[in-house]
Structure 1
Amino acid sequence: MKRFSIIFLLILFLLPNMTIATSHAQQITLKEGDYRASDLNLLPNNNYSVENISTSDSAVVIIFDSNSIIQELIKLVPESGTYNLPIINHGYEIMVIGNGEVIIS
């Protein structure tokens, strides 16, 4: 019983730490500019989210598909919450406008 308790406690404390470490490894920080999804190494047909981590500046994120049609336009206030993005493929472009610092994860 004592061995089971120790193993259970180890799993309980280590599992959240491993989950946090893997989620931070896939974050991409973007500033104002135009980016291709393929250059950012975003995996096609994957779910991504976006957030503004700047404490004082807003940002606008626009996602264009391969035909230059807007798929998403989001205005992110300073320290915004996390917003889910539509599926992004290799032909897509991401444009960030404003002085905010945006993280895609």
Structure 2
Amino acid sequence: MKKFTVMILILITLMFVASASTPAFAQNLFKEGSYKLSDFVPAKNNSYFVQNISSKGNCYFAVMGENDALLQVIYLTPKSSRYNLIPLKSEYKVFIVGDGEIFIKGVD
């Protein structure tokens, strides 16, 4: 009886842990907000591409430098093609404004 109870507790714990984890592909999707480089899946050479995968919402994607200087702005229409970003540094800030859903991935 004791073994059965322990097994049930282990199974229940594993079920909750598995359901709480975020799938790997979902870590590349971002919506409106401000982000840091540490929020993205790391790229080897800090080179990334960006794409709006939303079917309806337009959005702006902006990169600001260390002195809050605007370094890059991209207007992304729904189902846009991929755009390469400038190499990102850890002190850069990224802003997404609009209703789109942005996919960001490192360029290998």
Residue 87 of structure 1 aligns to a residue whose secondary structure is: coil
What's the counterpart of residue 56 of structure 1? 56
**Cα distance, 1:53–1:99 mapped onto 2, change above 3 Å:** same
In the alignment, structure 2 segments of 5+ residues that lack a partner are 1-23
Q: CA RMSD in A?
A: 2.1
**More off after superposition, 74-83 vs 61-70:** 61-70
> Is the Cα–Cα contact under 8 Å of residues 42 and 90 in structure 1 kept in the other structure?
no
> Is the Cα–Cα contact under 8 Å of residues 44 and 88 in structure 1 kept in the other structure?
no
Separation (CA, whole Å) in 1 of partners of 2:66 and 2:43: 15
Q: For residues 11-36 of structure 1, give each alpha carbon's deviation from its aligned partner in whole angstroms, at most 9, with x where no partner exists.
A: xxxxxxxxxxxxx8696111000011
Deviation of residue 40 (structure 1)? 3.0
Deviation of residue 45 (structure 1)? 4.2
**Cα distance, 1:91–1:38 mapped onto 2, change above 3 Å:** same
Q: Percent identity?
A: 33
> Is the Cα–Cα contact under 8 Å of residues 27 and 40 in structure 2 kept in the other structure?
no
What letter is aligned with 2:84?
A: N
> Is the Cα–Cα contact under 8 Å of residues 28 and 41 in structure 2 kept in the other structure?
no
Q: How many residues align?
A: 82
Separation (CA, whole Å) in 1 of partners of 2:48 and 2:27: 10
Q: For residues 2-59 of structure 1, give each alpha carbon's deviation from its aligned partner in whole angstroms, at most 9, with x where no partner exists.
A: xxxxxxxxxxxxxxxxxxxxxx869611100001113435448421100000001101
**Cα distance, 1:90–1:43 mapped onto 2, change above 3 Å:** farther
The structure with the largest alpha-carbon Rg is: 2
> Is the Cα–Cα contact under 8 Å of residues 61 and 73 in structure 1 kept in the other structure?
yes
Residue 103 of structure 1 aligns to a residue whose secondary structure is: strand
What letter is aligned with 1:65?
A: G
